[in-house]
Structure 1
Amino acid sequence: MDPFAMCYGGHQFGNWAGQLGDGRAINLGDVVTSEQARYAMQLKGAGPTPYSRTADGLAVLRSSLREFLCSEAMHHLGVPTTRALSLTLTGEEVVRDILYDGHPQAEPGAIVCRVAPTFLRFGNFELLASRGDAELLKELADYTIKNHFPESGPLGKTSTYINWFRTVVQLTATMIVQWMRVGFVHGVMNTDNMSILGLTIDYGPYGWLENYDPNWTPNTTDAAGRRYRFGQQPAIAQWNLLQFANAIYPLIGEAKPLENVLSEFASRYESESQQMMANKLGLLEFGSRDKELLDGLEKVLTLAETDMALFYRGLANVTDEMAPRVRLNCLRDAFYEESELTDPVTNEILRWLNDYLERASADALPDTQRRDRMNRVNPLYVLRNYTAQLAIDAAGQGDFSAVDELLEVLRNPYTGQQDRDEYAAKRPEWARHRVGCSMLSCSS
């Protein structure tokens, strides 16, 4: 293998940031399996690269564990993602200022080996376009199509580049739908963090929705503008695709075909999102009148502070034969504050449950089948921010047993596991405003 670091640019928080590059990621090369599948192997935190600028190219155990745990959790949830092959302590300390507030401290150093078919990003193409290097842009595009999108067509043809862009649009839409399904918030959707394969990449200040809040972002850097908040992720993905389209425009020389393909993102996302929500509700398909049901659900989830994951798992147990109060009891574990369940709030929830059960009955599925359908797509276990932080705290003291146990739980997220109730519990009050549990930075 001949190690290398990638050079790329990117739009960060909506602004062109110029050349960036792998500041602490070292690509070892590709491994080709016996089935001819290609995997790139990359060390993150192994030291400086030509693109480290003034940084040291190292990573701390805290951020490395977060990437390791989350990429594996996402894989087992069925979300497109890079994978983590290994995590290694370096035996050295690395100084980091966690909140960029002038309080640096030494932390254990670590290296993650991550794996993906390729680590190419939108930013690789953006940088070449910004430099006006049409020849190298074409060479990179043809390499990408040949190795990862051969179905797009013969190399060098305009139609091939358009087909390639359409596939990237589709893959990106699918990835975002899956993020929204499980309540994942990436936190820093810059174009240099967008995989050309539609994989979740670069796990930095990410977070998981615990109480449902479309405006929540885990990233302290984004706290003011909330550009990358949960509910905004589909729109940001489309904006990022626009920047990618601008980058590959020189390959096509005509804007209209790219505009036409880009316009397909909204319909693609809507179609997949609607079916995803139908699946979460145990419905066979999304019907013409189901938007009203979803609008009502959105309101119900915000009437009181409601845990997203526990709500859907509880909803799977609600049946038409139950008395109204029994139906509500199926959801009670999802509510953070019992005092918020006033009579008006309770009545609103019960009205929606009645509408939901009436709609579900139209599919004529037995309750057990509906429950099974729902539990296959609504995880019981996600990487809750506080459970990750507890495992990180223990690992920092040399005890990796909590990491091992958490990883074991996350490998089977849809099925209840014996003696694992604490991993399917609401966020405790102490974690509401704790650093690492409710807010994170890009410090790593």
Structure 2
Amino acid sequence: MKLHIQNNFTTELPADPNETNSPRQVQQACFSYVVPKKPSNPSLIHASVEVANFLGLSQEDILSEDFLNTFSGNTIYPETKPYALSYAGHQFGNWAGQLGDGRAINLTEVMHNDKLYTLQLKGAGPTPYSRTADGFAVLRSSIREHLCAEAMHYLGVPTTRSLSLMLSGDPVLRDVLYNGNPAYEKGAIVCRVAPSFIRFGNFELFASRKDHATLQLVTDYTIKHHFPDIKVEGIEKYLAFFQAVTQTTLDMIVHWQRVGFVHGVMNTDNMSIHGITIDYGPYGWLEDYNPDWTPNTTDIQHKRYQFGNQPQIALWNLYQLANALYPLINDAKPLETILDAFSTDYQKEYLNMMRNKLGFMVKKDDDAFLIEILTELLQLVETDMTIFFRNLGNIQKEDTPEVALNTIKEAFYNEKDLNETVLNNWYAWLERYGNRINEEPFSDVERKEQMNKVNPKYVLRNYMAQLSIDAADKGDYSLVNELYELLKKPYNEQPNYQKWFAKRPDWARDKVGCSMLSCSS
């Protein structure tokens, strides 16, 4: 197994001089060296051949002892020195101070085909940033992370990737619901892959400590290696960097809203400067279209990170990044200009995204009104978001509202809830929708083809992930493999997997792991 190693981060940025692995406040350093804990009996559950390939690895490499040992943390790859990042963050709107990689250990950077990747183990043991935690991860959360990262990629959503999912062979004690009932679970390790794991919180840490020298070092490093298109210098360089992060963050959120994804923990330490989805914890996909839904039990009272609030939270987080970068710019006005444009730009991109979901290839002035009515309608009775938008593409131009309703009614969780008032509202909207698609110059077949490219048929619903977890707990990984294959082609019909194109079953409505999740992993 041959990797083309780079050590840019550890070579160019200041290291924590203390190499003992004990919880502490780390000053004037971007990372701490740390050795993964050797697992007692590592075994490979699943690996992504595609991710391996873009790292320069083959199918044969995946099956090798070197692969098993390197990506379980059992051995350290030659000429590398693993490390954990130091960063801070706002958690649920409150300043949390130093956080850092408490359960993640960066193995190294790899260059392949002129692209740079960072390889990171999640669940490979404690670091100086673990605070009171043990640094390990359990099988259930690791399966969710591995499957979701890959599912998001194939959906076209910017994301970290997942190379491998392994059992450590060691038990890990967890209190799933934080209710005083801890139990031992199977330990697991995921190898995450991204251009880097630099977050908003990396900049917040040094700004909060008024360590402007290190702040400038990490910002210059980030621009040099990850934003090479930025050619200007001085203040303009930092503004261009902030503008780029703002735009990619906006793009990511539009994709989340498109597929009905809810991150669940949009803390600033969980926001990547690459505008990619990072840190899959208590996430979920909307079953019924409900802007108020959050999958996170910790957030159940205030619903800060609910689906409908994700654009506003992204902007709030960007304000915190702007505050962190301010010492390098010393002028609030240009930062405010970029931030002020976010909401307007988001609305424009959201409208275009929704037009695509509805099959509107030609823009009309009243599209926004039609979309607003629809999002209100979808909340009148429980309506499955994924099934609704996928089946909407089957409506024909000549369909009456009654025929059109029959086409989408599979999306309703309980047809008995469709009282006369609700039905009339649907008929009125479907009539307007029929008139609107008749204004399109494209055929029904062409419109459906375009809609099917943005409206997935299959997403990783929480109950699906939970079924694979339940089987894996018993040593059966066939469902992990099946879901992985299914989710590689989420926009295809895949008749062999038709059973997964279904509403959440009743048994999953309130089941732990299916409706709500905690941050426990």
TM bin (shorter chain): over 0.9
TM (norm. structure 2) is 0.84
Match of 2:328 in 1: 251
| Distance of 1:419 and 1:41 partners within structure 2 | 34
User: What is the deviation of 1:298?
Assistant: 0.9
C-alpha distance in 1 between matches for 2:184 and 2:229: 49
Deviations 1:74-121 (A, max 9, x none): 000000000000011001110100000001111100000000001000
Aligned residue in 2 for 1:237? 314
Q: Which amino acid aligns with 2:212?
A: A
Q: Is 2:98 the partner of 1:19?
A: yes
Compute the displacement of 1:55 (Å): 1.3
1:285 Cα deviation from its structure 2 partner: 4.1
Distance change in 2, residues 1:286/1:223 (3 Å): farther
* Structure 2: distance between partners of 1:9 and 1:259: 23
Deviates more, 1:429-438 or 1:418-427: 418-427
Whole-Å separation in 2 of the counterparts to 1:326 and 1:394: 41
> Is residue 205–residue 440 contact of structure 1 (8 Å, CA) maintained in 2?
yes
Partner of 1:381, secondary structure, is coil
Aligned to 1:427: 504
User: SS at the partner of 2:137?
Assistant: coil
Does the 8 A contact of 2:252 with 2:277 survive in 1? yes
Question: Structure 1: 5+ residue runs without aligned partners?
Answer: none
**Which residue in 2 is equivalent to 1:201?**
278
Identify if the C-alpha distance between structure 1 residues 286 and 242 changes in structure 2 by more than 3 Å, giving closer, same or farther.
farther
Letter in 2 for 1:22: D
Q: Is the 8 A contact 2:401 2:428 kept in 1?
A: no
Matches within 5 A, 1:78-227: 78-155=156-233, 157-227=234-304
Q: What are the Cα deviations for residues 26-57 of structure 1, in whole angstroms up to 9, with x where unaligned?
A: 00110001x21000000000001111112111
The CA deviation string for residues 230-276 of structure 1, in whole angstroms up to 9 with x for no partner, is 00000000000000000000000111111111112112211211111
Question: Equivalents in 1 of 2:167, 2:182: separation in Å?
Answer: 20
Give the 3-state SS of the residue equivalent to 2:97 in structure 1: strand
What SS does the corresponding residue of 1:317 show, helix, strand or coil?
coil
Q: How many residues align?
A: 442
Quick check: 1:60 aligned with 2:160? no
Pair 1:41 & 2:81 matched: no
Q: Distance in 1 between matches of 2:397 and 2:499?
A: 30
Q: Does 1:28 align with 2:107?
A: yes
SS in 2 for 1:246: helix
**Superposed displacement of residue 360, structure 1:** 1.6
- Equivalent residues of 1:153, 1:159 under 8 A apart: no
What letter corresponds to residue 399 of structure 1 in structure 2? D
Unaligned residue ranges in structure 2 (runs of 5+): 1-79
Distance between the aligned counterparts of 1:26 and 1:354, measured in 2?
Answer: 55
Residue identity opposite 2:259 in structure 1:
V
Describe the SS at the equivalent of 2:217: helix
Does the CA contact (< 8 Å) of 1:212 and 1:302 recur in 2?
yes
* Distance apart, 1:61 and its partner CA: 0.3
Q: Whole-Å Cα distance in 1 between the matches of residues 400 and 336 of structure 2?
A: 53
CA–CA separation in structure 1 for the residues paired with 2:330 and 2:196: 27
Structure with larger RCO (C-alpha < 8 A, sep 6+): 1
TM-score of the two chains, using structure 1 as the length reference: 0.98
* Cross-structure match for 2:385: 308
Quote the offset at 1:153 in angstroms: 2.2
Q: 1:211 touches 1:307 (CA, 8 Å); kept in 2?
A: yes
Does the 8 Å CA contact 1:274/1:286 hold for their aligned counterparts? Answer: no
Is structure 2 residue 449 aligned with structure 1 residue 368? no
1:330 matches 2:330 = no
